[in-house]
Amino acid sequence: MPYVNVQIIKGATREQKAAVVKDITDSLVRVLGKNPEHTHVVIQEIDEADWGFAGMLTDDWKRQQRQS
């Protein structure tokens, strides 16, 4: 039973999340032969202030990019 956890920054629409779940499920079926009825995909949305990369919080990084 595959379990896939996808973490993204908040802001995706319901339609976008549905497409991600479908694409991941289809990939597991195609590549690994998994049963789609046993495949679980969980999407966790994270606030920009709670996600960091490049040594900065995402909201700060975006602000810096806009100012550049």
Taking the alpha carbons of 32, 36, 40, 44 in that order, is the dihedral positive or negative?
A: positive
Q: What is the dotted CATH code of the domain comprising 3-67?
A: 3.30.429.10
Distances (CA, A) of 42 to 2, 36, 46, 49, 63: 11, 14, 13, 21, 29
One-letter amino acid at 13 equals T
**pLDDT for 68 beyond 90:** no
Active-site residue list = 2
pTM for the predicted model, two decimal places: 0.84
Q: Which sequence spans correspond to the domains of the chain?
A: 3-67
pLDDT in tens, 7-64: 999 999 999 999 999 999 999 999 999 999 999 999 999 999 999 988 999 999 999 9
